[in-house]
Structure 1
Amino acid sequence: MKLARDTWLIFQRQTLLLLRNPVWIFVGVFQPVMYLLLFAPLLKPALAPMGATSDAEVYRVFVPGLLVLIAIFGGLFQGFGLIAELRAGVIERSRVTPVSRLALLLGRSMRDVVSLLVQAVIITVLALPFGLRVHVADLLLAYLLLALIALMTSAVSYGVALLVKSEDALAPLMNTVAQPVLLLSGILLPLAFAPAWLRRVADWNPFSWAVDGTRALFAGDVGNDAVWQGLLITVMLAALAVVWAARAFARSVR
């Protein structure tokens, strides 16, 4: 009960700070919108061999990958705000409060999840005029998968930020991790186009399972094995990330 109350208090404070400067939500949406408007139309000839011959089918393949992209990158770079709080002494002052150390992490991560879901809804709505159609139940399950990804990546980012305590170290580290994750996830183009050896390597990338699962949900194939495999893998990794980052918070706030 105390954990839930403390998490809600931290979530409220962090959300209030975000709402005071909502431009960050739209900054986070701007690049995906550019991909949606300027890159997706180029995919129609490329996706034709997979049967995506209409705009609706192209966006049904591309939009899920784009949403996973937002979840990954939106989470991985949340640590910069925490470093600013460390420098301002916010985390140091938390030592004298009775708030749960786990709540310090969960409140921030839940704020990040809500921000991600707002951006995901905006992208989905913008894709509707291009012919995207998806059942509400499938869409909600896809959003659950995206929320788990955002929870995992933001927790990892906060944990790493507490370790390095420097934007100069965090930026290249996150970029080094994000680039191969992006290329091996089939986010922009399905891995069906990749050679066999690259697909085998991508099988070890958990985000490729999440992308496949999200695409299956947007296609209305909720019974596809990729959906439940992606959910299972993401749940386990999110739990591990939260536990590890919570321990990092506990060490930093004693």
Structure 2
Amino acid sequence: MSATTLTPTGAVTTDSRMERSSFARDTGIVLMRELRPMLRDPFSLVFGLVQPIVFLALFGPLLGGSLAGSVPGGSVWQWFVPAILVMTALFGSSTVGSNLLYEMQTGAHERMLVTPLSRSSLLVGRALKEMVTLGAQAVLIVAVMVPFGFRLYPAGAVLGLALLAVFGIGLGSLSYALAIAVRKQDWMFWVVQQTFLFPLMILSGMLLPLESGPGWMQVLSRFNPLTYIVDAERALFSGEIATATVAWGVVAAVATLAVGLAVGIRGMRRSAD
């Protein structure tokens, strides 16, 4: 006679809830670990908050003089401020791999790998640190720019920051994967990062509109996921939520997240071998 083992119908649901809770806890641990050094160094924190304001102060008047009335929507600040937030997320997320390179040189990364923390939480927690900084920068930028004519749409702004967080986690994971791939030649990290960073920025229409650019640049911009992120942020910060532009931005951000986590987790597992 064979014995039959009955599995409670709620077991799968309970296991999935426990996995989500464990992932959230692990991510929180990694996030706090990454935030502590930044909180201990207030100068770098203040400099990171002020840097986007300086860029707006220097670059904004040039745009106001040369592009006034020609940018979509007619408002230079409404067009440029969301782009500055995207640029901040882009620079912050794409350079986080350099911190991992330092940890691999000091042995801190190997010590993290032997802990029971999940590999995905090591990626997401580290990338979220940059999103915390981005949130603080966004609040400061909006507070400074509102008196100069920037219109704030709270719902769109919150959704815009959430979209940037999704994109930033994916891009940060790719940065970590790059750091792991070039750990024996760490100078290659900056070569690859810079090679891809500036073409992506220019071809996204982040700093200058591409509508008046050559046809080949407009074609290439359509294959640039950052283009759709920038367009979606401009729409959200202008109060446009349920639009096709925002939908394409969500698709680009989620695709970046999926690819980044897949490549990053694979790289983390290989680095542990």
Q: TM-score, normalised by structure 2?
A: 0.86
Q: What letter is aligned with 1:4?
A: A
Equivalent positions of 1:176-215 (< 5 A) are: 176-215=195-234
Unmatched segments (≥5 aa) in structure 2: 1-20
CA apart distance, 1:6: 1.6
CA apart distance, 1:213: 0.8
Task: Please give the per-residue CA displacement for 1:179-209, whole angstroms capped at 9, x wherever unaligned.
Answer: 1001101111122232333211100000011
| Distance in 2 (alpha carbons) for counterparts of 1:198 and 1:97 | 47
Q: What letter is aligned with 1:108?
A: R
Task: Please give the per-residue CA displacement for 1:5-55, whole angstroms capped at 9, x wherever unaligned.
Answer: 2221111111112211243333334442222112111212323234766xx
Q: What letter is aligned with 2:70?
A: P
Q: What letter is aligned with 1:223?
A: A
| Distance in 2 (alpha carbons) for counterparts of 1:25 and 1:228 | 33
In 2, are the aligned partners of 1:25 and 1:119 still within 8 Å (CA)?
Answer: no
Equivalent positions of 1:1-254 (< 5 A) are: 1-44=21-64, 45-50=66-71, 57-165=75-183, 166-254=185-273
Provide the aligned length of Structure 1 versus Structure 2.
Answer: 251
The structure carrying a bigger helix percent of its residues is 1
In 1, are the aligned partners of 2:79 and 2:234 still within 8 Å (CA)?
Answer: yes
**Which one has more relative contact order, counting CA pairs under 8 Å at least 6 apart?**
1
| Distance in 1 (alpha carbons) for counterparts of 2:237 and 2:130 | 23
| Distance in 2 (alpha carbons) for counterparts of 1:162 and 1:142 | 30
Aligned residue number for residue 11 of structure 2 = none
CA apart distance, 1:217: 1.4
| Distance in 1 (alpha carbons) for counterparts of 2:212 and 2:242 | 24
In 2, are the aligned partners of 1:101 and 1:253 still within 8 Å (CA)?
Answer: no
In 2, are the aligned partners of 1:62 and 1:189 still within 8 Å (CA)?
Answer: no
Larger radius of gyration: 2
User: Are residues 158 and 172 of structure 1, via their aligned partners in 2, closer, same or farther at CA, if it must alter by over 3 Å?
Assistant: same
Q: What letter is aligned with 2:223?
A: W
User: Are residues 163 and 38 of structure 1, via their aligned partners in 2, closer, same or farther at CA, if it must alter by over 3 Å?
Assistant: same
Unmatched segments (≥5 aa) in structure 1: none
| Distance in 1 (alpha carbons) for counterparts of 2:171 and 2:45 | 17
| Distance in 1 (alpha carbons) for counterparts of 2:212 and 2:144 | 27
CA apart distance, 1:230: 0.5
| Distance in 2 (alpha carbons) for counterparts of 1:51 and 1:204 | 21
| Distance in 2 (alpha carbons) for counterparts of 1:108 and 1:141 | 21
Q: What letter is aligned with 1:220?
A: G
In 2, are the aligned partners of 1:94 and 1:253 still within 8 Å (CA)?
Answer: no
Q: Which moved more, 1:13-22 or 1:198-207?
A: 13-22
| Distance in 2 (alpha carbons) for counterparts of 1:208 and 1:95 | 35
Q: Name the Cα RMSD after superposition.
A: 1.8
Q: TM-score, normalised by structure 1?
A: 0.92
